[in-house]
Structure 1
Amino acid sequence: MEERKKIMEIGRLLDFLKTAEQLKCNTRHSYTSSGRLESVAEHSWRLALMAMLVGDEFPELDMDKVIKMCLIHDMGEAITGDIPAFEKTDKDRKVENKKVEQLTDILPEPVRAEWKALFEEMEAMETQEARLYKSLDKLEALIQHNEADISTWIPLEYDLQMTYGNEECKFTEYIQRLRDEVRKDSKRKIEESKQKD
């Protein structure tokens, strides 16, 4: 009997996980409801959870693929750190994409090919799976801001809570309704903060 080929060599796995661990250490611009900065890993985890929970709304989509996109979409930030969307430039995106390529090259085949294909699909934004991942990515950030104390918001976020992700969320009626509800929560939060002043 032929020995089955090992897909993930242990040393390579541990090296990759060591780099991925930085997503737990690298913080985002967002704060948690307890008042500390959120890590990139926490954002990716809850994004994947959101995809899993809304999966029944999209029976025609490959939800395993969407969840994988959610889990790996910010892998480059293990090296570059997080740059808020409202500050990120094309140059920043190119650097992050290059780091993703370097990280992906650590992986053995067929994992490497799958990850490269996922990153290309996310970049192209032409499939329903990529569109769903992207809309949820935007929504998770908005939800997190709603959960944080409003004192952690910077001035431009008052407008961003109303407009961020609007275009990405138009692709299905369900996601658009979810975006509308998140916006209502933001309006309510802003209104309550004005009443306290």
Structure 2
Amino acid sequence: MESKNLLEVLHVAERLKDATRHCYTSKGRHESVAEHSWRAALMAYFLRDEFPEADMGKVMLMCILHDLGESFTGDIPTFDKTQADEVREEDLLSRWLTSLPEPYATEMAGLFEEMAQRSTIEAKIFKAIDGLEALIQHNESDLSTWIPREYELNLTYAQDKTAFSPYLAALRQDIREETLRKMEREGQPEACR
């Protein structure tokens, strides 16, 4: 890749440092999309022994790249994202991908298609990590930052994404138990009991 092309790619990716997510950090500020992607990739690294049959380098790459579309649209929380939002994000990302030089355009388009289809072990692991990382971050944030629907979401979200793996299902259960302890410790609002 020519150096000017690399700079253009990095300038687009930089937007994810400022694109905030709905969730807060443990210190009370909104987390960025880039921070979410980074920790998801870190999770993939530490899960490599649990999935010796998987290409965990590919999973880490999926974690790093998966929210690049949000550099064009910003983050829309999963519970607010509509089909129209998804189509718009996919269209903008697709147009950007076609502007990349080869082999990056083809490789990245293939990865995004694989993530969307979720038929490979790598895509399934990635999707589970994506959901689990968000839940972990919610557990690390102050309960006062949660909106009412998040109490139930933090107890149930991503169960379907982790069901294929006993290890990931157990991790999901550990996160659920952490959520319950958090609600007990921090005093769940009356409306959510």
TM-score computed with the length of structure 2 as normaliser = 0.96
Matched with 2:37 is 44
CA deviation vs aligned residue, 1:15-35 (integer Å, no higher than 9, x gap): 111111000011000000000
* Match status 1:194 vs 2:190: no
C-alpha separation in 2, matches of 1:55 and 1:111: 25
Following TM superposition, by how much is the alpha carbon of 1:156 offset from its aligned partner in structure 2, in angstroms? Answer: 0.4
Aligned residues: 190
* Match status 1:101 vs 2:94: yes
C-alpha separation in 2, matches of 1:41 and 1:17: 12
* Match status 1:120 vs 2:113: yes
Following TM superposition, by how much is the alpha carbon of 1:196 offset from its aligned partner in structure 2, in angstroms? Answer: 10
Following TM superposition, by how much is the alpha carbon of 1:41 offset from its aligned partner in structure 2, in angstroms? Answer: 0.2
Matched with 1:149 is 142
Q: 2:47 aligns with which of 54, 57, 64?
A: 54
* Match status 1:26 vs 2:28: no
C-alpha separation in 1, matches of 2:136 and 2:188: 22
Does the CA-based 8 Å contact 1:16-1:103 persist in structure 2? no
C-alpha separation in 1, matches of 2:91 and 2:151: 33
Query: Could you list the runs of 5+ residues in structure 2 that have no partner in the other structure?
Result: none
C-alpha separation in 1, matches of 2:188 and 2:92: 46
Gap change, CA 1:111 and 1:196, over 3 Å in 2: closer
Following TM superposition, by how much is the alpha carbon of 1:195 offset from its aligned partner in structure 2, in angstroms? Answer: 8.1
C-alpha separation in 1, matches of 2:173 and 2:108: 32
Following TM superposition, by how much is the alpha carbon of 1:89 offset from its aligned partner in structure 2, in angstroms? Answer: 0.8
CA deviation vs aligned residue, 1:68-102 (integer Å, no higher than 9, x gap): 10000000000100000000011111111111112
Q: 1:83 aligns with which of 61, 70, 76?
A: 76
Query: For structure 1, which segment, 35-44 or 11-20, has the greater mean C-alpha deviation from structure 2 after superposition?
Result: 11-20
* Match status 1:174 vs 2:167: yes
Following TM superposition, by how much is the alpha carbon of 1:64 offset from its aligned partner in structure 2, in angstroms? Answer: 1.1
Larger gyration radius, structure 1 or structure 2: 1
Matched with 2:178 is 185
| SS of 2:173 mapped into structure 1 | helix
Gap change, CA 1:140 and 1:195, over 3 Å in 2: closer
- Letter aligned with residue 32 of structure 1: T
**Percent identity at matched positions?**
52
Query: Could you list the runs of 5+ residues in structure 1 that have no partner in the other structure?
Result: 1-7
Does the CA-based 8 Å contact 1:20-1:78 persist in structure 2? yes
RMSD over aligned CA atoms reads 1.3
